[in-house]
Amino acid sequence: MKNKFLNKSKGGFGQLTIPLIAICILFLFNLIRDPSFFSIEITYNNDGNAVLAGNLISVINGASELAVLAIGMTLVTAACGGQDISVGAAAAIAGSAFVKVLKSGPSITGGTVFLAFICACVVAMLFAAFNGTLVAVFKIQPMIATLILYTCGRSIAYWINGGATPTVDSAIIRAIGRFIPGIPIPTPVLIVIAVSLLFSLVFHFTSLELFTQSVGINGNAARLNGINSTFIKLLSFIILGFCVAVAGCIGVSRLELINHETLLLDVEMDAILAVAIGGNNLGGGRFRIAGSILGAYIIKMLTITLYAMNVAPVNVKAYKAIVIILIVCAGSPVIRNRITALMNRIRLRSSNEAAATRG
């Protein structure tokens, strides 16, 4: 019964319907426009390793950071009824801490990378806890509370490395950001799969999903039922901090350097859009992580499609905005309710006709 409630909206209109329709339309459009758009080939990278290449690989690889951020953003949205607009700046801070630890020793080893990642997670989760405290304890609206870190976060990232943009020349970092030797699938894609499985296990073996939705739907009712809504909201931000650290480390590993000004720049709006496109209620409550991940891939596929059509980079955001408006409006409660009502009328008419035929 719980899964049925979580996976279906009223009237049987699935929460994943809109993102699935959107991604199918993009697939069909690209197949008609250029049948070779989704072709995948095996090439050799600079290290001589066989790797997969093609537009589809570019989509699932390029959306990795956004997909991870969308997971954490979904939890914050569901629990708090608002969004964190500081995730890009926080990722720059986490990436700077990651590089700071990597550059602290004479060489970069597996142990150094692990320690750097832990430090990045701790730093990002502390800043996320700061945001969460403002929201959960001081009852500040999430977008306003996170505006503080959005404003000053990249300056903090700048101070961590003394204003420098140090490079990280390491085979381990290169493998994290690109390909592990002998594995043709981009490593960031594998990281997204690992993070998704981690959250699936957490939701399966704990009541975090149910508690988060309960707090987002009605915090007062959740408290009356023994759920600590303040803790759940704070925990959602801390989990987002972990996702921010993962995304920041992937971004640094791709470039093999930290640039506090450009690392995941403007990713905040894409993360919020991924949650919205995924059919999640931006006012809190019921959510689907899978929908947000699909939303991230839809945004990236749309971007790759526009570039493949030779749309000028300066115009890409405008075209993206038009398509995303259509997708979000199609998934709005008004449209969903009308479609559900239409489906119910069709179903009722079919039942009546079948009954008349039997009669």
Q: What is the pLDDT of residue 119?
A: 98
CA distance 61 to 92: 20
Q: Which of 10-14, 61-65, 270-274, 291-295 has the lowest mean pLDDT?
A: 10-14
Is pLDDT at 183 greater than 80 in this prediction?
yes
Sign, CA torsion 189/191/194/197:
negative
pLDDT above 70 coverage of the chain, percent: 96
Confidence of residue 63 (pLDDT cuts 50, 70, 90): very high
Angle between helices 208-217 and 229-255 (to 10 degrees): 110
CA distance 107 to 72: 33
Q: What is the pLDDT of residue 217?
A: 94
Please report, for the chain, the start and end positions of each structural domain, with discontinuous segments joined by +.
2-351
Confidence of residue 201 (pLDDT cuts 50, 70, 90): very high
Mean pLDDT of 15-23: 85
Is pLDDT at 21 greater than 60 in this prediction?
yes
Mean pLDDT of 192-210: 96
Structure tokens at 15: 């929460």
Contacts of 324 (CB under 8 A, 6+ apart): 273, 277, 299, 302
| 1.10.3470, 2.60.120, 1.20.1270, 1.20.58: CATH of 2-351 | 1.10.3470
With vertex at residue 242, the alpha carbon angle to CA 173 and CA 20, rounded to the nearest 5 degrees, is 95
What is the widest separation between alpha-carbon atoms in the chain? 86
- Which among 63-67, 217-221, 333-337 has the top mean pLDDT? 63-67
Amino acid at 340: T
Is pLDDT at 12 greater than 70 in this prediction?
no
74-128 per-position pLDDT tens digit: 999 999 999 999 999 999 999 999 999 999 988 899 999 999 999 999 999 999 9
Q: What is the pLDDT of residue 13?
A: 55
Q: What is the pLDDT of residue 359?
A: 62
pTM over 0.95: no
249-273 per-position pLDDT tens digit: 999 999 999 999 999 998 999 999 9
Q: What is the pLDDT of residue 5?
A: 36
Confidence of residue 289 (pLDDT cuts 50, 70, 90): very high
Is pLDDT at 9 greater than 80 in this prediction?
no
118-153 per-position pLDDT tens digit: 999 999 999 999 999 999 999 999 999 999 999 999
Mean predicted lDDT score pLDDT of the chain: 90
Q: What is the pLDDT of residue 7?
A: 43
